[in-house]
Chains A and B, each alone.
Chain A
Amino acid sequence: GAGVSQSPSNKVTEKGKDVELRCDPISGHTALYWYRQSLGQGLEFLIYFQGNSAPDKSGLPSDRFSAERTGGSVSTLTIQRTQQEDSAVYLCASSSSGPSQYNEQFFGPGTRLTVL
């Protein structure tokens, strides 16, 4: 499809294990965002990529969280040594931002992470 895709849709893991979440943005979109949404809560910004520039990591909650974006397209969010408080839905969004206009974000369906 033409939208943002994320995989897996659901992930159950044991405390202490590492997990990788994947995001495929809309083709041609240069900006990519990761958010976390805990149960019944709003969206918490995690990290932002714009093209090949250094990412804005200001929202990452701890050094157990990292993300990369290869070739300016697909992104992987990695959580090391998962904790139960990491359980949430992780949302990815992309947008086609340029120097003269701002475009809305298109969101993926999310990955529901459960840490037992």
Chain B
Amino acid sequence: AQKVTQAQTEISVVEKEDVTLDCVYETRDTTYYLFWYKQPPSGELVFLIRRNSFDEQNEISGRYSWNFQKSTSSFNFTITASQVVDSAVYFCALSEAHNYGQNFVFGPGTRLSVLP
């Protein structure tokens, strides 16, 4: 069975601080996909990144970076020099290849508050 854990329920940082959101997953598949989504106060989920299990290269996109480590089943997300607009709930999600196109499993989310 697949499972996603986001142990941090809420995080508060001051603007310009760096912050890392943790994501740990469980799967028996060797082929799977990991995702991060952002849900701002407006409520609409925004796709941030997809990573497949064969690509362990870290990804950087502007102030965002992702660290995928299969050895620890983690896919952590770091925001560098955080801004107030980064305040949102962030969800990590997993989809197994054998359930191709079928249900995602989402973590419970981490609420990030960036204070000015």
A interface residues with partner B (beta carbon < 8 Å)? 31, 33, 35, 41-43, 45, 48, 50, 56, 58-59, 89, 91, 93, 95, 97, 102, 104-110
Most A C-beta atoms less than 10 A away, residue of B33, B97, B102, B108 = B102
Q: B33 to chain A: which residues have CB within 8 Å?
A: 102
Q: B85-116 vs A: 1/0 string, CB under 8 Å? A: 00000010001010011111111110000000
Which residues from chain A contact B42 at a C-beta distance below 8 Å?
Answer: 109
> Are A43 and B35 within 8 A (Cβ)?
no
Contacts A48-B103, A97-B100, A102-B97 given; 19 further ones with Cβ under 8 A? A31-B101, A33-B103, A33-B104, A42-B91, A42-B107, A43-B91, A43-B106, A45-B104, A45-B105, A45-B106, A50-B102, A56-B103, A59-B103, A89-B43, A95-B101, A107-B44, A107-B46, A108-B44, A109-B42
B102→A56 contact, CB < 8 A: yes
Contact between A48 and B102 (Cβ–Cβ < 8 Å)? yes
Chain B, 34-71, CB within 8 A of any chain A CB: 35, 37, 42-47, 50, 52
Pick the residue among B35, B45, B108 that contacts A41 (CB under 8 A). Answer: B108
- A89 CA / B44 CA spacing, docked (Å): 11
**Do B45 and A107 touch across chains, with their CB atoms under 8 A apart?**
yes
Residues of A within 8 A of B50 (CB): 102, 104
Q: 11 A–B contact pairs at CB < 8 A? A: A42-B91, A56-B102, A89-B43, A102-B33, A102-B95, A102-B100, A107-B37, A107-B44, A108-B44, A109-B43, A110-B43
CA distance A91 to B78 in the complex (A): 26
A102 to B45, CA, bound (A): 18
Complexed CA–CA distance, A95 and B104 (Å): 12
Question: A42 near B109 (CB under 8 angstroms)?
Answer: yes
- The 4 residue pairs across chains A and B that have the minimum distance between CB atoms: A107-B45, A97-B101, A42-B108, A43-B106
For B104, the chain A residues whose CB sits under 8 A away are: 33, 43, 45, 105
Q: Which residues on B sit within 8 Å (CB–CB) of A108?
A: 44
Is A110's CB under 8 angstroms from B44's CB?
Answer: yes
Which B residues touch A89, using CB under 8 A?
43
